[in-house]
């Protein structure tokens, strides 16, 4: 879609990153009591100061993000550290999806937040096109250059100008599983799509529904599709579809939907069936996989590293009750799909620039890393800051991949297609979950919506 992405798409690195991730996740068996001790110790330690911030006594800031629960609470601890160091007062403003629409109403009412956390590169582009976003200053750019690979810097740029600080990243190529369910079924972590289907059938035969799907949140469905498509069609096709250089009626899309239907269309493979999945949001899709002892509603749930927050909410322990394996290879290589949230300045001020600089530093990221359920693309965050071996392995794989990753396809799209509840790709895939036999109709709807959003 945009030239800024061209530097971060290399086929060989997808395979390399998948290999690193597979090795890192093999460490999950080392979790347990040591992980808890690590988490408790890490959360109480002081974060070393590496970034210089100005005194901002009397200044106030508002930061908007579509975050809630533990994620919001943990980010507030980062903001509290900024307040402590600068004397500024920072307020968190809960936003609604799609955040661009939320910001539009705030700006129209003359009350924009000073900084917004935007979850899509397309949203950054839209904020720039609307004249809302302000370029980063010298200090923030210097902090980015020190701590981020070029690829992570580039996806925060529009027309060569730096607007975004990718404070948070996500590895969206993981499948989490209930270890007791796997043990009872006598199965091990699959490495290929065919092995995943065999594992699912064995889990089903043991008396547990194989998969939990958070279909009420359309973005989880786009993530399913993207992992299959990247692995099956390959990086070149993935890049073309992300830019709408090929149509959604392309045979490669048909192949991916056909593969996806092997899970979504299999009777009793999805907890609650299609109707139940479409009423299950993402947090519930995770918690219902890790509650109910060895008879949960599902044995596996697909989603990114951030699912750890919801696993904890379920009372399960990552590394013992819950483990993860890389999304299995459908084609020649396993997929590695990443996402993230970028801090973008909407009201240019000394305080807003200072916050962007802080969020680009390892100081800020280390605070949230220690609290769990968070992943930073900042290469100078010490891996030991993450609270367990699972998350340490995921973080190490992300940093080792450098610039060589594929960013979430729907996040690259115009928000009307790839990031709006009840519309575009989200809605088309929800309809496909309800009727996985209608592949041609799904392709036609996806293409019609994409053509309208991309402008033909």
* DSSP secondary structure of 317-358: -BTTTEEEEEPPBSSSS---EEEEEEEEESS--HHHHHHHHH
H runs (alpha helix) in 87-186: 99-108, 121-129, 138-147, 150-154, 179-185
Domains in the chain (CATH in brackets) are: 3-171+338-407 (3.40.190.10), 174-335+420-454 (3.40.190.10)
Q: What does the pLDDT read at residue 48?
A: 64
- The total number of residues shown for the chain amounts to 456
Separation of alpha carbons 88 and 192, rounded Å: 51
Beta bridge partners of 116: 64, 344
Name, in order, each residue with C-beta under 8 angstroms of 437's C-beta and a sequence gap of 6 or more: 261, 265
**Terminal CA-to-CA distance of the chain, rounded, Å?**
13
Number of helices (H), then strands (E), in the chain: 22, 12
Q: What does the pLDDT read at residue 400?
A: 83
Separation of alpha carbons 111 and 116, rounded Å: 13
Q: What does the pLDDT read at residue 28?
A: 38
Separation of alpha carbons 304 and 115, rounded Å: 25
Separation of alpha carbons 128 and 291, rounded Å: 44
The phi, psi pair for 110, rounded to 5°, reads: 75, 20
SS3 string, 266-298, reads CCCCECCHHHHHCCCCHHHHHHCCCCCCCCCCC
Q: Which residues of 10-43 are buried (b: 16+ CB within 10 A; e: fewer)?
A: beebbbbbbbbbbebbeebeebeeebeebbeebe
This prediction has a pTM of 0.77
Beta bridge partners of 294: none
For every one of its 456 residues, what pLDDT tens digit does the chain have, with 9 covering 90 and above?
333 333 333 333 333 334 334 444 443 333 333 344 333 334 444 556 789 999 999 999 999 999 988 889 999 999 999 999 999 999 999 998 889 999 999 999 999 999 999 988 889 999 999 999 999 999 999 999 999 999 899 999 999 999 999 999 999 999 999 999 999 999 999 999 999 999 999 999 999 999 999 999 999 999 999 999 999 999 999 999 999 999 999 999 999 999 999 999 998 999 999 999 999 999 999 999 999 988 999 999 999 988 988 998 999 999 899 999 999 999 998 898 989 999 999 999 999 999 999 999 999 999 999 998 899 999 999 999 998 888 898 898 888 877 667 889 998 898 899 988 999 999 999 999 999 999 999 999 999 999 999 986
Beta bridge partners of 336: none
**Residue matched to tokens 């790709």:** 425
Q: For residue 313, what are its two tokens?
A: 């909410």
Separation of alpha carbons 135 and 293, rounded Å: 51
The sign of the torsion formed by the CA atoms of 76, 361, 22, 370 equals negative
Q: What does the pLDDT read at residue 404?
A: 65
Q: What does the pLDDT read at residue 389?
A: 87
């Amino acid at each position: 879609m945009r030239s800024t992405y061209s530097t971060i798409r290399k086929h060989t690195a997808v395979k390399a990153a998948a290999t690193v991730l597979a090795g890192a996740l093999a460490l999950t068996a080392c979790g347990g009591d040591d992980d808890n001790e690590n988490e408790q110790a890490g959360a109480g330690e002081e974060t070393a100061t590496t970034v210089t911030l100005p005194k901002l006594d009397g200044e106030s800031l508002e930061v908007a993000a579509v975050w809630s629960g533990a994620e919001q609470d943990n980010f507030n601890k980062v903001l509290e550290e900024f307040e402590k160091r600068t004397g500024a007062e920072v307020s968190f403003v809960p936003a609604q999806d799609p955040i661009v629409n939320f910001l539009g109403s705030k700006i129209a009412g003359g009350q924009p937040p000073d900084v917004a956390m935007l979850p899509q590169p397309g949203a950054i582009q839209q904020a720039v096109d609307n004249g809302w976003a302000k370029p980063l200053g010298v200090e923030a750019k210097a902090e980015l250059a020190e701590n981020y690979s070029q690829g992570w810097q580039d996806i925060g740029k529009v027309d060569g100008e730096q607007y975004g600080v990718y404070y948070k990243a996500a590895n969206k190529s993981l499948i989490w599983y209930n270890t007791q369910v796997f043990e009872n079924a006598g199965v091990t972590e699959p490495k290929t799509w065919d092995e995943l289907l065999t594992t699912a059938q064995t889990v089903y035969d043991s008396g547990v529904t194989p998969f939990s799907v958070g279909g009420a949140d359309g973005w989880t469905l786009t993530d399913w599709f993207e992992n299959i498509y990247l692995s099956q069609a390959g990086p070149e096709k993935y890049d073309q579809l992300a830019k709408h250089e090929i149509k959604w009626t392309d045979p490669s899309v048909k192949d991916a939907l056909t593969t996806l239907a092997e899970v979504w269309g299999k009777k009793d493979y999805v907890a609650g069936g299609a109707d139940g999945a479409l009423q299950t949001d993402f947090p519930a899709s995770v918690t219902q996989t890790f509650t109910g002892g060895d008879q949960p509603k599902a044995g596996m749930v697909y989603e990114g590293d951030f699912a750890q927050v919801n696993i904890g909410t379920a009372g399960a322990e990552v590394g013992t009750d819950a483990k993860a394996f890389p999304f299995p290879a459908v084609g020649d290589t396993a997929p590695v799909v990443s996402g993230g949230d970028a801090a973008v300045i909407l009201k240019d001020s000394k305080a807003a620039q200072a916050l962007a600089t802080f969020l680009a530093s390892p100081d800020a990221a280390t605070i949230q890393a220690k609290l769990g359920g968070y992943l930073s693309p900042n290469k100078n965050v010490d891996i030991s800051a993450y609270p367990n071996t699972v998350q340490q392995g995921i973080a190490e794989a992300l940093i080792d991949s450098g610039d060589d990753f594929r960013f979430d396809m729907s996040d690259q799209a115009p928000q009307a297609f790839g990031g709006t509840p009840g519309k575009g790709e989200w809605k088309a895939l929800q309809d496909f979950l309800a009727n996985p036999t209608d592949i041609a109709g799904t392709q036609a709807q996806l293409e019609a919506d994409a053509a309208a959003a991309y402008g033909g």
